[in-house]
């Protein structure tokens, strides 16, 4: 944590999109306005808000999946707005993990192959299969490694997604409603696993959720409303 104290630094971030109304007239819609944010290494940050408040848009911008309309975002000290799509991708490679609400596992692959994927993409050497198996073991799914993910339950699929996210031991993990598609009990299990792994690997976590009990478990909690970010006291 010495060289990069701040993993993400955001200043005066704005995002506007063109949206068509019922008469097909294009109008500018402001989603995010004047967002300022700094995330330190190893912390967990929750962002909550109502549906359509722009949580996912913010997450995408922070990860460099999209570019803001105005303002600056620095990821690992690099200004994203000066980078091309491929340069932004290279910045993420091996350092950033994702967990999505609808898992987004590749259906024609087995659990093991899904976990292997990020390892194979980066320049990793050594016994990759063993590393992937270990990751599956950590989420309690080693026994089902060879099964196609379509044969797994929702909770199991999200656990495979967690193994896939953590297998490269990323510095930063983005989680978009990781429990949104799961029942309460399974959701709690997956959340517990997420925080355990985050803690074990000292990963910086950016968590977008509408589940306040989940947000409460993070070090820092922001609320997104009317395109603006407000810090929430964890105790609140």
Partner 1 sequence: MNVYWRQWARRWRLSEMRLLFLALWISALAVAAVGFFTDRVESAMERQASQVLGGDLVVSSSRPLPDDYRQLAAKLGANRAEVISFRSMLSFDESTQLVQVKAVSTSYPLIGELQGTKNLNAASISLKGQLPASGQVWAEPRLFHALQVPMDATVVLGKSQFALTTAVTKDPSQGVNFFQIAPQVIIPLADLPATGLLSPASRAEFSLLFTGSEQVIRELKANLEAKLTPTERIRSLQEGAQNVEQALQRAGRFLGLAALLSVVLAGAAIVLTAASLVRHETRSVAVLKAFGLARRRILVDYLGNLWLLALIAGVLGAMAGFFLQALLAHWLVQVVAIDLPGASWTSAWVSIVTALVMVTGFALPALLRLLDTSPMQILQGSLPAQKTLAKVLILSILPAIFLLLWIQARELRLTVWVFFGLIVAVLLFWWVTKLVLNGLARLSTRPAWQWLALMRQSRRSLLLVVVFAMGLFTLLLLTALRTDLINRWQASVPTDAPNYFLINIQANEQAPVEQFFQQNQLQATLYPMIRGRLVEINQQPVTSEDYPKAEAKRMLEREFNLSSFANFPESNTLLEGKWFDTQTQGFSIEKGIGETLGFKLGDSLSFDIAGQRFTEKITSVREVRWDSMQPNFFVIAAPGALLDKPYTFITSLHVPSTKPELIPQLIHQFPSITAIDTSAILGQVRSLVEQATLAVQGVFAFTLVTGLLVLWSALQAQRPERQRELAVLKSLGASSQGLRQRIWLEFLLLGGLAGVLAGSLTMLAANLLGYYMFDLTVSLNPWLIILGALVGAVLVASAAWLNLRSLLRVAPMVLLKT
Positions that interact with partner 1 (CB under 8 A) = 56-57, 59-60, 63, 65-66, 85-86, 89-98, 100, 102, 104, 106, 108-109, 113, 117-118, 120-122, 150, 176
Cβ-based nearer residue to partner 1, 56 or 198: 56
Alpha carbon dihedral 201, 204, 206, 211, in 10-degree steps, equals 50
In angstroms, give the least distance from the CB of 113 to partner 1. Answer: 6
216/82 Cα distance (integer angstroms): 35
Looking at the Cβ atoms of 115 and 235, the one nearer to partner 1 is: 115
Angle between helices 184-201 and 154-166 (to 10 degrees): 10
Q: Which is nearer to partner 1, 103 or 221 (CB)?
A: 103
Closest separation in Å from C-beta 41 to partner 1: 19
Residue with smaller CB distance to partner 1, 86 or 233 = 86
CB of 129 to partner 1, least distance (A): 11
* Strand duo 70-75 + 78-79: pairing: antiparallel
Q: How far is the CB of 123 from partner 1 (least distance, A)?
A: 10
Torsion of CA 13, 16, 17, 19, to 10 degrees: 150
Shortest Å distance, C-beta 119 to partner 1: 9
DSSP state of 41: T
Q: Which residues are within 8 A (CB) of 143 and not within 5 positions of it... i.e. 6 or more apart?
A: none
Q: Between 59 and 141, whose beta carbon lies closer to partner 1?
A: 59
């Amino acid at each position: 944590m010495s060289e990069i104290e701040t993993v993400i630094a955001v200043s005066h971030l704005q995002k506007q999109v063109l949206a068509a109304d019922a008469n097909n007239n294009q109008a500018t819609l402001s989603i995010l306005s004047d967002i300022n944010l700094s995330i330190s290494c190893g912390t967990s940050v929750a962002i909550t808000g109502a549906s359509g408040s722009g949580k996912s848009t913010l997450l995408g911008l922070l990860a460099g999946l999209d570019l803001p309309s105005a303002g600056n975002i620095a990821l690992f000290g690099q200004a994203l707005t000066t980078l091309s799509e491929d340069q932004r991708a290279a910045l993420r490679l091996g350092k950033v993990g994702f967990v999505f609400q609808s898992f987004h596992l590749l259906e024609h692959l087995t659990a093991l192959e899904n976990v292997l994927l990020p390892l194979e993409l980066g320049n990793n050497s050594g016994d990759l299969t063993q590393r992937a198996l270990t990751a599956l073991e950590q989420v309690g799914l080693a026994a089902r490694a060879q099964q196609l993910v379509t044969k797994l339950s929702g909770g199991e699929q999200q656990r495979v997604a967690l193994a896939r996210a953590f297998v490269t031991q990323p510095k930063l993990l983005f989680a978009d409603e990781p429990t949104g598609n799961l029942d309460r009990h399974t959701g709690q299990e997956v959340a517990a696993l997420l925080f355990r792994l985050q803690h074990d690997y000292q990963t910086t976590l950016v968590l977008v959720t509408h589940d306040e009990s989940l947000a409460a478990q993070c070090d820092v909690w922001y609320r997104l409303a009317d395109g603006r970010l407000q810090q929430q006291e964890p105790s609140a």
